[in-house]
Amino acid sequence: MPTGHAWSVAGKRSVAAVILVLLPLAPSLLLAPLGLGAATGTFALGAAAGLIAGLMVNLRFGVAVAVVVGMANLVALPAAPYAIPAGLVMAAVAMLYGLTARRGLTAIIVVAPESVAFTLAEPPQVLAHQGILVNALVVGGVALVGGLWGAGAGAIIGRRLPHKKPVGVSTRRAVTFAVTMAAVTGVTMAVVVAMQLQHGGAWILLTILLVAQPRLHQTWSKTLERLLGTVLGFAIALAIGLVVDSPGVVVAVGLLFVAVAVYLHLSPKRPYWQYTMVLTPGIVLVEGSGSSVVSTDVARLWFTAVGASIALVVVAVLRWRLGPDGPDEEHLDDATVTPASS
């Protein structure tokens, strides 16, 4: 039977899960009345990036992530229509992201490059009657404000939540990982833009970023778990999509799934496939509520499979360059659990 301490920890995680879902979304609801509705996703992703950084590290780090996300999105929007510039921007962002593996920060800041990937693959036209420069400034500004909002909220919540202390990898492994990620994501983004895959292409990049890890055994296991979770989540979303036809109810159920997914993600002992299994129907239901949940579900399963396959290329390259994980890198997941500093 759960002890009082166990209930206390579970209660904190439940409250944090709800907050982590609602906080990035709340201010974004004000964008539509201001004529900036197309930037809602940009704000939410920026807020999520800042929120996780502030939650898992501290306010200063969260602010730094917010600034980088804002600047990267500003540069990304003008490059988005062109395959080669878009690929170069994605490669540069992925390079910076990969280098943070030296400090063990890739899992903490992964939403930041994902934010840029969505802007490049499906650039928001926020102000229809304004030029690209004005829209770029708006998108960058919205991402920055969202990131700062999330960083502040995350730092406050993180003071009372336990979490893993980041543990890095060797410099050689971090640099090799960064170069490989830059090459793979850069080329993939160029193809996504050239083929106009838009949102589906962004999902390919998202899957690569989520699955590919600096250490080989972690990437391999995470790829298999993500595929398993996605297939199971696909079945759940399909069943709900066939039964429920009210958009409002679909969105509400989707947000509930997302909150549960965040709750599972806050528990370090939960297997990754459970998180993916619950997150998949949440995102599919929210995204597909305005059109077809079933078609959104099928598309996400396909693009996730493509992204996971590309992530295996990262595994092959890293193994070719570095060999198997060294004995000094086999237990990096056993980091001490400590409260966040602020």
User: Could you tell me the residue ranges of all domains in the chain?
Assistant: 9-196, 215-325
pLDDT of residue 116: 96
Mean pLDDT of the chain: 80
Rounded CA separation 313/309 (Å): 7
Local confidence band at 282 (pLDDT 50, 70, 90 cut-offs) = confident
By the 8 A CB rule, do 178 and 171 touch? no
Say what the pLDDT of residue 230 is.
78
CB 94, CB 182: distance < 8 Å: yes
Amino acid 314: pLDDT: 80
Confidence at 8, pLDDT banded by 50, 70, 90 = low
The yes-or-no verdict on residue 261 having pLDDT over 60 is: yes
Q: Is the pLDDT of residue 174 over 60?
A: yes
HSE of 333, CA atoms in CB hemisphere, 13 A: 11
For the whole model, what pTM was predicted? 0.79
pLDDT at 117 over 60: yes
The pLDDT-based confidence of 326 (bands split at 50, 70, 90) is: low
Listed as own residue / partner, the contacts of 113-116 with beta carbons closer than 8 Å and 24 or more positions apart are 113/185, 113/205, 113/209, 114/45, 114/49, 114/205, 114/206, 114/209, 114/210, 115/42, 115/45, 115/46, 115/48, 115/49, 115/69, 115/72, 115/73, 115/143, 116/69, 116/72, 116/73, 116/76, 116/89, 116/90
**Furthest-apart CA atoms within the chain: distance in Å:** 62
**259 alpha carbon, distance to own chain's centre:** 15
Predicted pLDDT at 338: 35
- pLDDT tens per residue across span 15-64: 666 666 666 667 767 777 777 777 877 888 888 889 888 888 889 999 99
Whole-angstrom Cα distance, residue 146 to residue 24?
Answer: 7
Find the helix packing angle between 40-56 and 132-158, rounded to 10°: 30
